[in-house]
Amino acid sequence: MTSTQTSPLTFLKGHGTENDFVIVPDAENAVDLPAALVARLCDRRAGIGGDGVLHVVRSAAHPDARHLADEAEWFMDYRNADGSVAEMCGNGVRVFARYLEHAGHVTAGEVAVATRGGVKRVHLDKDGSVTVRMGRAVLPEDGVTVTVGERSWPARNVNMGNPHAVAFVDSLDHAGKLDDEPPYEPAGVYPDGVNIEFVADRGPRHVAMRVHERGAAETRSCGTGACAVAVATARRDGADPALSGAPVTYTVDVLGGTLVITEHPDGEIEMTGPAVIVAEGTVDPAWLAPRIETVND
């Protein structure tokens, strides 16, 4: 790959229920995005600001997605705000699909998007909402206990292509500030880290959540987290669509809006919510150059 430091870097900014992303179009995978540069782009004070980076690459051009090129032309090379690579991002894949439409690569209707969590089928509705078929949840038996201050809760282990720990609380305030990852035990259940959701009931088939995202601290929304929350809540409520033969739908309020999650009897999970492109521009190549820290004796 060639370096981004010799020419301006084209970017867009988008969000899904205020889970916001820096979008880097790079069809041929020619842009070098080391972790340090991703973190700078996502810096809310010195950079563009975002919960992560959506690197837009043709599947055939990226080594992590070439095996999916026959199923999906475009690959969402997703990075967390700290620069680490992530398997999937539910809000991100909606914004990614909205970008493809914005750029003229696709039209409203069905779109396939390759991710490290597999190919996701997306429907771009003409009313502006986006529905993603998120695949099936995996429910490992081993869970953890999450602690904030003097309070602890058992957390359900749910995998949506990325790991989640879902804890039910009486009040979302009990989650604290969520600047740092809440401690959990045993740590070995999640060797690569975990997204932690705190969930409070709002009504029948209606919950609210806050989330500490792996590699990003608290975010305004998490799509895979909302799916994990809906599945965990359904199991808590005894509403398993595989047993009833009927879809189960939950409304999940996040800090940045509302997502609607439906789990079908075959296990397929659909998530519906907004996705918005808010800006586009270029980054000065001088800013992209590595910063040299000096220390005065």
Residues 83-133: tens digit of each pLDDT: 999 888 999 999 999 999 999 999 999 999 999 989 999 999 988 899 999
Please write the tens of the pLDDT for every residue from 12-47: 999 999 999 999 999 999 999 999 999 999 999 999
CATH code for the domain of 148: 3.10.310.10
Please write the tens of the pLDDT for every residue from 197-235: 999 999 999 999 999 999 888 999 999 999 999 999 999
Which residues contact residue 269 at a Cβ distance below 8 angstroms, ignoring those fewer than 6 apart? 133, 134, 135, 136, 137, 160, 227, 230, 231, 261, 262, 263
Is residue 157 annotated as involved in ligand binding?
Answer: no
In terms of Cα–Cα distance, which of 242, 175, 246 is closest to 209?
175
Greatest C-alpha distance within the chain: 71
Please list the active-site residues.
89, 222
Residue 148 lies in a domain: yes
- Please, are residues 238 and 215 in contact by the beta-carbon 8 Å criterion? no
Note whether 161 and 183 are same-domain residues: yes
Residue 294 lies in a domain: no
Please write the tens of the pLDDT for every residue from 192-201: 999 999 999 9
Residue 31 lies in a domain: yes
Note whether 71 and 150 are same-domain residues: no
Is residue 213 annotated as involved in ligand binding?
Answer: yes
Given a cut of 50, is residue 294 above it in pLDDT?
A: no
Is residue 214 annotated as involved in ligand binding?
Answer: yes
Which residues contact residue 105 at a Cβ distance below 8 angstroms, ignoring those fewer than 6 apart? 73, 74
Q: How many domains does the chain have?
A: 2
Which residues constitute the domain of residue 240? 144-266
Residue 165 lies in a domain: yes
